[in-house]
Structure 1
C-alpha cells in the first residue's frame, strides 16, 4: 500500500520553526486540520565523524529521538492521522523499536495500544514498551510469528502495522529532508542504512525523490542498504532476482532479523529503480563496529552498527551519510 501524493513546497521554503519534523508539514499528506501527536521528534543532529578505519562520514543521529530510534518519525505521522480518525485502540507487531515508538505516541495521543513481540526480543525494548502503558504479548518463535499472531487481534482492533501503513513511511521520509537541509539543500553522494522490513530505506528513497522532483536538490544520492550476513534475504534476492531464497537466520542485529520482509518485492523494485544497492556484513564486523564506535562516543544498538560496519566496507571517504537508527541503551554491551 502506498499514497499517491505530491508534496507542496512553500515558495519561500520550509519554515525555520518548529525544530522538529513538523517543519515539513506541507510535504506530509495530512489534512491541515489534523493536530500533530508529537514528542518533539525530528531535526536530529548530523555530525561529522571518523570511522574506525579513519574515513570521514556524516552520522545522522536518529538514535537520539524521543524513544531512541528513527521509528518515532513514522509513529508520529501515523498516530496523528489515527487520532484524527478517532481510532480508540491499535495493535502492532514489532521486534522492539517500532513497538516502543507506537506505544509512546499512543500514550501521548490517548489511544490504547497492544504490541505483539517475539519472546526473544531484548528485555530493555520490551520494558520500554510496557513503560508507556501498552500491553505486551510475548510470542514464541521468530519475528514472523509475532506478525502472524497479531492478525487475529487485527480482526477487531485497528492494525497500526508500521510495515503496511503508508503514513509511517511518510514520516520516515523526513530523514531525507533533514539530511538535505543540513547539507545546505543538496544530496550527499552516498546514504547508508540498515535494512530489515525497509521502512527507513523506502522513506529515504521517497524523500530524496520528492526533493528532486520539486527542485530542492539536483540528484539522488546512492542509497546503500546493509543486512547481516546471518540474515540477508534481500541481499540474496537482489543478486539472484529470486525472492524464494528467503529463509530464517539469527543475528545480533535483532531489529533487522527479518527472514521474509512484508515489503520485500517493493524494496527490491525501488532500490533498483533508484540505482541503489543491497549488501551485507558479517556478524564479526557488526560486533566490532558496535564496540569500536561506542569507544569513540557513539553508543548505538547492534542494528545501527550494521550500517556503521558497512561504511568501512564501502571504503568511502567524505560526502557520505550513515543513519544511526537506534540507541545503545536499547541493548547495552
Structure 2
C-alpha cells in the first residue's frame, strides 16, 4: 500500500471514530466528501444541504462535510462511497462512468451549447435512464449539481485555434472524454492528481491544464498561468450520490428530506456558478492573465476522433440513447 493510500486510510479510520461518538447523539450521521474548495459554490451548496437536512430532521440526521479532497483524491472518495466508508460524494460524470458507462456519454465534447440545455437533459431523460443503472453499482443518484464548461489555461501562448494547442502538454483528470477532446484538438495530455496540480504547474511539469472557470478561480490556478482560452470543450457537473445501503437504512421521510434538499442545494450551486462566472472571469483578466475566445467551430471540426473514442468507451448503444436526448 502506498504512503498516500495509508494516509487516506488513517484519515478515514479517524473519521469513523469521530462519527461513532457523534452517533450516540444523533440517529444517523451522513459523511459527505467532495473536491471543491471551501470558497467554491459546491461547498456553499453542501453547507446549505447540511443545515437544511439537520433542521428538517430535528437533528436526527447529522451531515458531516469533508471538502477540498480532505479524504483523498476524487477517485478515492468515490470508491470509499461505493464501499460505504463515506456515505455521500459529489463526483463528476467522468468519475461515475468507471462504475456505469452510461455516465460517460455526458462529457461528449461540445455536446451542450448552454447550461439550460444541459440541465434539461440531465434532470430529465438522462436521470430517468441512468439512475437505475447506477443503483446496481451500489449508489443512489440524488440529484445533479453543477461544475461547468471546461476551459484551457497555459503559460506558453494564447490559444485562438486548435493549431495553438499543438505541442502543449496539458494536465487532465483521468477522464477519457477530456483527454480525447484535447488530443483531437492537437494537445498532449498527462494525468496528475488534482491536489498535485499547483506544484506541477509551478515546476513546469506541464504547460497548462483545463477546468471550469470557478475551479480555476477558487483554487487560484490562474495565478500560476499566463493564458486562459474559453474553449468550453466539455461540460460536466457534480452529481450527488449516496451509498445505497446507507440510503436504504433511512426512513421514508428522511429519504424525502435528503432528496429534496439535495435538489435544492444543486439549484443553489447552479445559480451561484452562473452568477459568479462573469465576475470571476473579470478578476482573472484583472490579474494580468490574457483571455481569448477562440472560434469553437474550428475545435468542433477536429472532434471526429474524440467522438469515436467516447462512443467506444461508453458503448455505442449508450451513445445512441444519449444523442437521442439531445435531439428532443
Using structure 2 for the length normalisation, give the TM-score: 0.31
Q: Considering only CA atoms, is the larger Rg found in Structure 1 or Structure 2?
A: 2
Using structure 1 for the length normalisation, give the TM-score: 0.30
Work out which structure has the larger RCO, using CA pairs closer than 8 Å and 6 or more positions apart in sequence.
Answer: 2
